[in-house]
């Protein structure tokens, strides 16, 4: 199924590596001064991490697409629509750690053209 970020078409075989690492309910567990257990739970409205990964042999993007992603990455406070398997998610780049987009050429050349292919990892946070 097609994966898009706004108008940018991404490879449909990107792996959503942390799809099941998020729970829609958060929990806080504390002990009171009397030793009683206080458990609070609430629905998380936003904040889900979405990491899409390509690999050595799959989900490559070309340099032209990578440059489109980089332009979005360089725009502060940008909210985008990520569509994955028919579901739309309002997202921003997750800039903590790796910076949101990391890419490595599938093979190295000194002056890659627009068709040069890259393995990519895209990190988002649902907003």
The domain of 61 spans 3-126
pLDDT at 113 over 90: no
84-90 own/partner pairs: CB under 8 Å, 24+ apart: 84/1, 84/3, 84/16, 84/50, 84/52, 85/1, 85/3, 86/1, 89/48, 89/50, 89/124, 89/126, 90/126, 90/127
> CA of 6: how far to CAs of 11, 93, 109, 114, in Å?
14, 13, 30, 20
Residue 108: per-residue pLDDT: 84
Quick one: pLDDT band at residue 86, thresholds 50, 70, 90? very high
We report the CATH number of the domain holding residue 51 as: 2.40.30
Quick one: pLDDT band at residue 100, thresholds 50, 70, 90? very high
Q: How many domains does the chain have?
A: 1
State the average pLDDT for the chain. Answer: 93
pTM, entire model: 0.85
pLDDT at 45 over 90: no
Mark 28-64 as b/e (b = at least 16 C-beta within 10 Å).
eeeeeeeeeeeeeeeeeeeebbbbbbbeeeebbbebe
């Amino acid at each position: 199924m097609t994966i898009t970020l706004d108008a940018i078409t991404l490879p449909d075989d990107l792996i959503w590596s942390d799809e099941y690492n998020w729970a829609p309910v958060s929990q806080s567990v504390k002990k009171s001064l009397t030793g009683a257990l206080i458990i609070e739970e609430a629905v998380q409205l936003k904040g889900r991490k979405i990491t899409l990964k390509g690999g050595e042999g799959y989900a490559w993007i070309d340099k032209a697409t990578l440059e489109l992603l980089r332009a979005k990455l360089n725009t502060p406070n940008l909210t985008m629509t990520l569509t994955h398997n028919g579901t739309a998610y309002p997202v921003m780049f997750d800039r903590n750690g790796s910076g949101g987009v990391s890419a490595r050429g599938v093979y190295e050349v000194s002056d890659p053209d627009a068709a040069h292919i890259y393995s990519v990892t895209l990190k988002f946070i649902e907003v």
